[in-house]
Structure 1
């Protein structure tokens, strides 16, 4: 049975709160390629407790299951429709498959066939208990032999899953704290520089008045006082600027990112998907601006969903081209992301539905499942960053997405 026929016989589940789930996941702003060291001890512990060969921490976004922690197997990602954890995130407790090879939902997937030949699966959802119970993904244990887990072991795995969620949130908090510390240090330098001039002027003028004393006439004294007032006013305006802009600075913090780094990240995360589909993925950077700092806030989520969508709707031997640019302006730089593909294209009606957030899912060119939320998430994230998204396409002619995201003061 080929993949398309197999997919037609399998109903892939979608959580009722899927849009809320992927929005909450996007707020964590995770870099899926740099988390593995955070979970090595927990995946090892989970495998020991369950007595299984393999343990994984999997995050599930709109299109992909990302393995961010592993023990017993070298795995980084798979399509969402191939995963067993997509069923785990549907519930509040756990999901178990005694024998994957006899279950129609999984028996044709690569990890069930030789040489991996997995049979047993047990997963616990990674639940964010503070946000109406959305599930980010799953902690799962797997084995090449069928088995069962005692209630005591199940409870221990749930405790480990809770710790995974705690660490994900800690990871987010630490990243935010680092950004704020960096921003505070930059603010301190700016304040020290900007306040030195006005204060020096105030001190100098005050000293002149003190030295001249009664010998200065009233007009000269008034001139000195006016100069002191202007210098004091500039200090006050600086204080107001610091207080008013503090929130904006914090929101724009973390700009230790540029176009070259962004391109490398996209290649690392999405080359495997393109290679697996048999399409060419090109990422080009405008060299003249590849060093300019940009905010990495939500960029991987935005570009990643666009790339996954393009891969899904581009047939084998097709091409996907992404161009990254910074439009330098006197008052504000703008990040420009263009994603074009040679895929199936779309009608104006579908484009309007995407931009209005009412689009429904459809299957890809090789039978990939459509979950219907990836482009809606992109629109949500771009709007949240005060950016814009334009779509140009015709059926059978491919699609071009143009994203513009303002980057704060230049």
Structure 2
């Protein structure tokens, strides 16, 4: 496919998708009922909930077909996101755009497709699609029901994001509670100490009423101090918050998401981390979108039997920390003009080493997201000798 369909608002579309901050792997149960309902309404064996980023179509929920991802240029849904109404292909095997695709030529030998865009803030994030081995007909009534299901999928995506934000705020509130407990220990300790001194002096003066009153203060203060100690002790060790990664978890997530892409192209893919900093927590905000796009780009421009390697570490100095990420490949490389175009946000689409279609927005999105986190992007490359993208992002500590 030489002319890839690109929505006129592609950058806004990618930014809206990035704003949801999804990892594409944890949502099966959230949408399984809607995927099954869509197939039931359409009378098809298969339905998928697909989100499309700059390089990949991610199937976050599946009914009747076990597939998690495919290159964007192989998908039918890339045409669905071009419009605001349903997109139908009566027979995939007779359509020049799709007749040679693996899902048409090989098992499951698909023929029919109908997709409805998943629209949020005026952009299409992906599509709800129904598919079958046989030709079907989608009546206007069925099309309207599928549109309602698609709208509910978008509402749930937004709801999941809202719940994540609320959990983060709750975690912050709990941290504030622990800080308050820590802060009151000092004053309470002073009050108890003072009460102890007065109690001892009062005993010498034998002022029974004062002694009884001060003993009550001393007892109450001691109880509150014990409560503060109990709150503080419960915070160790602190588990990761909902909005946090550590290097170990981030490594596992990247391998789960992108190992299949690399294997399909016969590329060796590895993620290396610093063992001594493997459990240091840091914000996961936009990191999957940043590193994921860099990995997809590296796979695209690396030939078979090549290498794509991700290296990650956290550098700490003078009370601050920096997350260092390097995505290196043994691909076709860039000249200085190409490097400058990326850094200036003017990189154009190119065809990958395996004929993959480029969309020209993945690296522009990466640069935008890195800058939104006050980070920096550096590129080392030579034509024919591969490329290294180096990302530095300040670590925001709780």
TM class by shorter chain equals 0.7 to 0.9
**Secondary structure, counterpart of 1:33 in structure 2:** coil
Q: Secondary structure at the match of 1:66?
A: strand
Give the deviation of 1:208 after TM superposition: 8.7
| Structure 2 partner of 1:175 | 164
Instruction: Summarize the Cα distance change of 1:291–1:143 in structure 2 as closer, same or farther, 3 Å threshold.
Output: same
Per the TM alignment, residue 200 of structure 1 is displaced from its structure 2 partner at its CA by: 5.0
Residues 253 and 24 from structure 1, CA distance in 2 versus in 1: closer, same or farther, beyond 3 angstroms?
farther
Q: In the alignment, is the contact (CA less than 8 A) between 2:164 and 2:243 conserved in 1?
A: no
Q: Output one character per residue of 1:338-380: Cα deviation in whole Å (capped at 9) or x when no partner.
A: 1110000001111111111111111101110000011111111
1:124 Cα shift?
0.2
CA RMSD of aligned residues (A): 2.0
Tell me by how many angstroms 1:204 deviates: 6.8
More off after superposition, 134-143 vs 107-116: 107-116
The residue number in structure 2 matching 1:187 is 176
Give the alignment's TM-score, normalised by structure 1.
0.84
Contact 1:180 1:253 in 2 (8 A): no
Deviates more, 1:139-148 or 1:191-200: 191-200
Whole-Å separation in 1 of the counterparts to 2:132 and 2:303: 34
Paired residue secondary structure (1:172): helix
Question: Which of 251, 266, 276 is the matching residue for 2:254?
Answer: 266
Matches within 5 A, 1:289-308: 289-308=277-296
Give the equivalent residue in structure 2 for 1:20: 12
Say which SS state the counterpart of residue 106 (structure 2) adopts: coil
Aligned to 2:282, the other structure's residue is in SS state coil
CA drift of 1:77 comes to 0.2
- Does the 8 A contact of 1:328 with 1:334 survive in 2? yes
How many residue pairs get aligned? The number is: 361
Gaps of at least 5 residues in structure 1 are 1-6, 213-251
Alignment of 1:8-407 (within 5 A): 8=2, 11-128=3-120, 131=121, 133-198=122-187, 200-201=189-190, 254-407=242-395
| 8 A contact 2:77–2:126 mirrored in 1 | yes
Deviation at 1:299, TM superposition (A): 1.1
SS at match of 1:65: strand
> 1:334 and 1:33 mapped to 2: Cα distance?
27
Residue matched to 1:245 = none
- Structure 2 unmatched runs, 5+: 202-239
Structure 2 SS opposite 1:328: strand
Residue 385 of structure 1 contacts residue 405 of structure 1 at CA under 8 Å; is this kept in 2? yes
